[in-house]
């Protein structure tokens, strides 16, 4: 029995999966570095062919850096070594550059030590959770 004889299976359309005429290059703002990058026609066709619903959020450099961080974390966990991290960030309140011992969540503010303590005075008084 051929594919054309099987109910529910339609013959391949004349439009191939690599047809890119429906797309245009699109600029996207990277959520990590804030730089515009181009989501090319070819990349959009790839996303469509793989049935990926959401456009990319990061430029190629930031995506690679994120993948390297995730690989380093996975390798450290697999080997049982505790990995100490320091991530450079800008304080959401005063704008000062500082480091934090975690990877900040997307869209959530991160504060320097002095601004954090100013906003949470109970920590200084010893009433904070331990």
pTM: 0.53
The pLDDT tens digits of the residues spanning 88-126 come to 888 999 999 999 888 787 778 999 999 999 998 888 776
Which of 2, 56, 1, 68 has the alpha carbon at shortest distance from 30? 56
The pLDDT tens digits of the residues spanning 16-33 come to 455 667 889 999 999 888
Q: Which residues contact 26 (CB under 8 A, 6 or more apart)?
A: 38, 39, 44, 55
Burial class (CB in 10 A: 0-12, 13-18, 19+), 99: exposed
């Amino acid at each position: 029995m051929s594919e054309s004889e099987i109910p529910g299976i339609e013959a391949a359309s004349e439009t191939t999966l690599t047809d890119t005429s429906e797309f245009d290059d699109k600029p996207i703002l990277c959520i990590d570095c804030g730089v515009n990058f181009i989501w090319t026609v070819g990349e959009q066709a790839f996303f469509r062919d793989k049935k990926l619903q959401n456009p990319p959020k990061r430029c190629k450099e930031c995506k690679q850096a994120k993948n390297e961080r995730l690989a380093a974390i996975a390798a450290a966990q697999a080997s049982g070594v505790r990995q100490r991290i320091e991530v450079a960030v800008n304080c959401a309140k005063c704008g000062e550059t500082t480091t934090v011992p975690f990877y900040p969540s997307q869209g959530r503010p991160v504060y320097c030590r002095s601004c954090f303590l100013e906003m949470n005075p109970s920590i200084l008084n010893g009433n904070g959770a331990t």
